[in-house]
Amino acid sequence: MLEVTGLHAWYGQAQALHGVDIRVGEGEVVSLAGRNGAGKTTLVRCVIGLHRQVVGTVRFLGRDVTALPAHRRARAGMGWVQDDRGIYAGLTVEENLLLPPKVSDRAWPLARVYEAFPALAERRKAAGTTLSGGEQQMLAIARALRTGARLLLMDEPSEGLAPVVVARIGEIIREIRAGGAGVLLIEQNVKFAATVADRHYLLSQGRIVESLDNAEFRRREGELLEHLGI
């Protein structure tokens, strides 16, 4: 579904990524783990097309999309759940959900969204700015699902949220995977990542230093927490 090959990225003269190779299969959840500043968010921004100072190849559904701008990658079926959630403050919950265009027949109808996220149904007429952090995160995820994206790029979806909300987000990610979509997940919460991801890439100073299946990731959880600071 997603194949990134030999990706280098810069901010001006400063190089942020060094020859990164990753892949995400259909119906697979893959996490990116590493310290703050390791290059995780830069990598996701390169995949979605928001960071353009790059060399390398990004292929999506077998197509080279390296030269495409972000809006065309979104139309092709990439969905982004950004770390600041990107809620439109002047719109209601329902208006936020109705805003994005549908890009495939996988798009979740509004009724399904409200069934999966009852808190959003209860607050459908509330302004985006009045939502709690957990409700905003649910809205950001639901909005991506409304598009029918084949690949979701999720940046720290559990950050700062109550355990009950984190658990619900985990259930939704597993439901997304069961539906055949792929997920590329940036996640500092090692325990949460281990409950939802099939594989894990470890980034350090802009390089992939290890690729682990979930069993190995779980086995080395203590080491990862201590040495990677995640």
What's the mean per-residue pLDDT of the chain? 91
For residue 62, the SS3 value is coil
User: Do 144 and 152 meet the contact criterion of CB atoms below 8 Å apart?
Assistant: yes
* pLDDT of res. 228: 65
| pLDDT band for position 191 (cuts 50, 70, 90) | confident
* pLDDT of res. 11: 94
Q: Compute the half-sphere exposure of residue 46: CA atoms within 13 Å on the CB side of its CA.
A: 30
**Once rounded to an integer, what is the mean pLDDT over residues 197-213?**
94
Non-local CB neighbours of 217 within 8 Å, separated by 6+ positions: 190, 193, 194, 197, 200, 224
Beta strands in the chain (DSSP E): 2-11, 14-24, 29-33, 54-60, 63-64, 78-81, 151-155, 182-186, 199-204, 207-213
pTM: 0.90
* pLDDT of res. 79: 93
Q: From CA 24, how far away is CA 162, in angstroms rounded?
A: 28
User: Do 171 and 3 meet the contact criterion of CB atoms below 8 Å apart?
Assistant: no
Given a cut of 60, whether residue 230 has pLDDT beyond it is no
Domains of the chain, earliest start first: 26-45+70-228 (3.40.50.300)
* pLDDT of res. 36: 86
User: Do 11 and 180 meet the contact criterion of CB atoms below 8 Å apart?
Assistant: no
Given a cut of 60, whether residue 172 has pLDDT beyond it is yes
pLDDT digits (tens, 9 = 90+) for 81-121: 987 778 888 899 999 999 888 898 889 999 999 999 999 99
* pLDDT of res. 227: 64
**Cα→Cα distances 213→30, 196, 199, 201, Å:** 9, 12, 4, 9
Percent residues over pLDDT 70 in the chain:
98
Q: Report which of residues 222 and 11 the model is more confident about.
A: 11
- Count the neighbouring beta carbons within 10 Å of the beta carbon of residue 104: 13
| pLDDT band for position 229 (cuts 50, 70, 90) | low
* pLDDT of res. 82: 85
